Structure 1
Amino acid sequence: MEGNRRFVDNTRSEHIAIGPAARAALVEGQRPFAIILSCSDSRVPAEIIFDQGLGDLFVIRVAGNVVAPSLVGSVEFAAAAFGTRLAVVMGHTRCGAIKSTLDDVLGEGEGEVLTDNIRDIVERCRSPVETVVSAAGRECARDALMRQAVRANVRNSCDHLRHGSRLIERLCAEEGMRIVGAEYALETGEVTFLDPP
């Protein structure tokens, strides 16, 4: 949160390690303090958004910050190998994967080319987006639907991580691992944590 404040204020920390000494210190291993599962959108680089250096974050990026077996395995790996006990699932405003899913749910994606692999991402986002559309109604303003859908998708991915892995479930119950949702605002650079404790 402090790093994101620095990013928003454009006051990058002088203590962030990115030079030759930092690289040398990390050759033998790493101990990232957080796992970040975020969208692969080029405008959402977690290390920059949180003003962190080499070795600080274990970043997993995939369109729509969806959760699939290999991504769960990546979170499990960081938690088991490095002892990392914080995982942040971060969506963002104006997410293309969520827009494609919303278009599909509303029947507005006619003519859009969805390969089998892109379709897989849309299908992983479908359930939370359908829930939002059902609750808000199809007449709801498109911007409001998008905002709600992005957040619902983040919460869905958090739930999937919490309950889709025996290892992560045990670490949450017995070793204090925390999985939290967040949304990055492209417009301001600010990260909002959803449902904070």
Structure 2
Amino acid sequence: MTPPDSDFATDPQPTTPARVWATMQRGNARFVGGTPKHPRQDVETRATLANLQTPRAALFGCSDSRLAAEIIFDLGLGDLFVVRNAGQVVSDSALGSLEYAVEVLGVSLIVVLGHDSCGAVRAAIDSQLPGAAPLPGHIRGLVDQIVPAISQLSPERDAEGALVAEPDAGAVGKAHLRATVGKLLESSEIISAAVADGRLGIVGANYRLAEGRAVAHVSIGDL
């Protein structure tokens, strides 16, 4: 059994989805408690990884500056394959990157990480309120992918198509998190096949900014 305080440096064979996630949870607990190890961040590790990477998990998260993945989970160089964009919305580039992590790098786990007080979620809600101004540039295309989660929770709209009542932003964020996990499975045969084969698990987690804790809300596969 993996020791309670182990990480990817001291437990070099956490290959099952459940074991990888348990290791990440222990790292997050150290971060929350203010006792991080900062593993695998030394010169020797950097040199060892120069020609080869073998990450244990891929993380698909929001680009928010407060979600530094390796810090949150107290991991080091070479441990996570990280893909991020604002609002963790599924795109061709995100899918291709995650498929590379699964098919080529052989990760056992994908963590989809959202968070409270998400600016992209807030922008999506604001875009559906009465009198909302058009979003500039490519921001609209990104935010529009979060809108279905709003409609799921607050379907009632006025004659102009605006929301009658503003939904809770936290609830919208969690609904979007669940939808993102579902869309990964629906959009990628590589990811869905790996889950069906038992080689891959997916965790949808929400990060609490003030507390520092990543709380799982969705789990797919052998977890």
Q: TM-score, normalised by structure 2?
A: 0.80
Distance 2:199 2:164 in 1: 40
Distance 1:181 1:65 in 2: 11
Q: Does 1:190 align with 2:219?
A: no
**Matched-pair contact (CA < 8 Å) for 1:3–1:51:** yes
Matched residue count: 190
Distance 2:132 2:216 in 1: 30
| Aligned-pair CA distance for 1:195 | 3.2
Distance 2:137 2:148 in 1: 18
Distance 2:174 2:103 in 1: 28
Distance 2:146 2:131 in 1: 16
Distance 1:29 1:193 in 2: 30
Change (3 A) 1:45 1:108: farther
**Matched-pair contact (CA < 8 Å) for 1:60–1:71:** yes
Query: Which residue of structure 2 lines up, in the alignment, with residue 106 of structure 1?
Result: 129
Q: Which has the higher helix share?
A: 1
| Aligned-pair CA distance for 1:106 | 2.4
Q: Does 1:96 align with 2:119?
A: yes
CA RMSD between the two structures: 1.7
Query: Which residue of structure 1 lines up, in the alignment, with residue 145 of structure 2?
Result: 124
| Aligned-pair CA distance for 1:118 | 0.3
Distance 1:160 1:65 in 2: 11
**Matched-pair contact (CA < 8 Å) for 1:64–1:95:** yes
SS at 1:116's partner residue?
Answer: coil
Distance 1:37 1:109 in 2: 29
Query: Which residue of structure 2 lines up, in the alignment, with residue 12 of structure 1?
Result: 36
| Aligned-pair CA distance for 1:22 | 0.7
| Aligned-pair CA distance for 1:180 | 1.4
Q: Does 1:57 align with 2:80?
A: yes
Q: Does 1:156 align with 2:179?
A: yes
**Matched-pair contact (CA < 8 Å) for 2:127–2:135:** no
Query: Which residue of structure 1 lines up, in the alignment, with residue 49 of structure 2?
Result: 26
Which has the larger Rg?
2
1:48 to 59, 71, 86: 71
Letter in 2 for 1:193: A
| Aligned-pair CA distance for 1:166 | 1.1
**Matched-pair contact (CA < 8 Å) for 2:154–2:165:** no
**Matched-pair contact (CA < 8 Å) for 2:178–2:218:** no
Letter in 1 for 2:141: D
**Matched-pair contact (CA < 8 Å) for 1:31–1:56:** yes
List gaps (5 residues or longer) in structure 2.
1-24, 157-162
The share of aligned pairs that are identical, in percent, is 36
SS at 2:154's partner residue?
Answer: helix
**Matched-pair contact (CA < 8 Å) for 1:162–1:179:** no
| Aligned-pair CA distance for 1:28 | 1.5
SS at 1:186's partner residue?
Answer: coil
| Aligned-pair CA distance for 1:47 | 0.6
Letter in 1 for 2:155: S
SS at 1:161's partner residue?
Answer: helix
| Aligned-pair CA distance for 1:133 | 1.9
Distance 2:73 2:130 in 1: 37
Query: Which residue of structure 1 lines up, in the alignment, with residue 154 of structure 2?
Result: 133
Distance 2:155 2:52 in 1: 47
| Aligned-pair CA distance for 1:134 | 2.4
